[in-house]
Structure formats: structure tokens, C-alpha cells
Amino acid sequence: MELVLREPVDREQVSRALIDVIADAAWAERRRVAPVELLRARDEAISLLPKVQQGDHAGARRALELVNRANIAKERTGS
């Protein structure tokens, strides 16, 4: 079942969450402890950021899924 956002998405909040994913991946990579999932999430976050800022609803939905997945990967590694 596909997630459907019924409320307007706060572009600023989603953008900040994507930037956090990008920053977390950068720090983990710098410390040489970045899991592959986090690096993939970083790459996708970079591509989703302009879409979210332009108000793309599908992009915002994908960004929320990505942030959740990146947070889970981060918790697993303790990064």
C-alpha cells in the first residue's frame, strides 16, 4: 500500500530533514564509518532537495520515506 500525504507538507521541515541526512552522511564518511545505506540516502537526498523546495508532492513523500530509512540505518550503526 502506497503512503498518501493528505495534509500540506511543510517544505522547510522536509528540506531541513534532507539536509540533516546529507550532513550525517558527510560526517560519517569523514570518520570512515558511513554505511552504504547512508551514502545512498545522501545521494538521493541531494537529488530530492530541489524537488521538495519547489513543492513537488511526490518528491516530498519520497523524501519522508528516505529520511525515515536513513534514520533507521543511523540507529543501527550508532553513528
Per residue in 12-45, pLDDT tens? 999 999 999 999 989 988 988 878 888 888 999 9
| Cβ-proximal residues to 79 (8 Å cutoff; 6+ apart), any chain | 24, 27, 28, 31, 33, 34, 35, 38
DSSP 8: P
Q: Mean pLDDT highest for which of 6-15, 42-51, 60-69?
A: 42-51
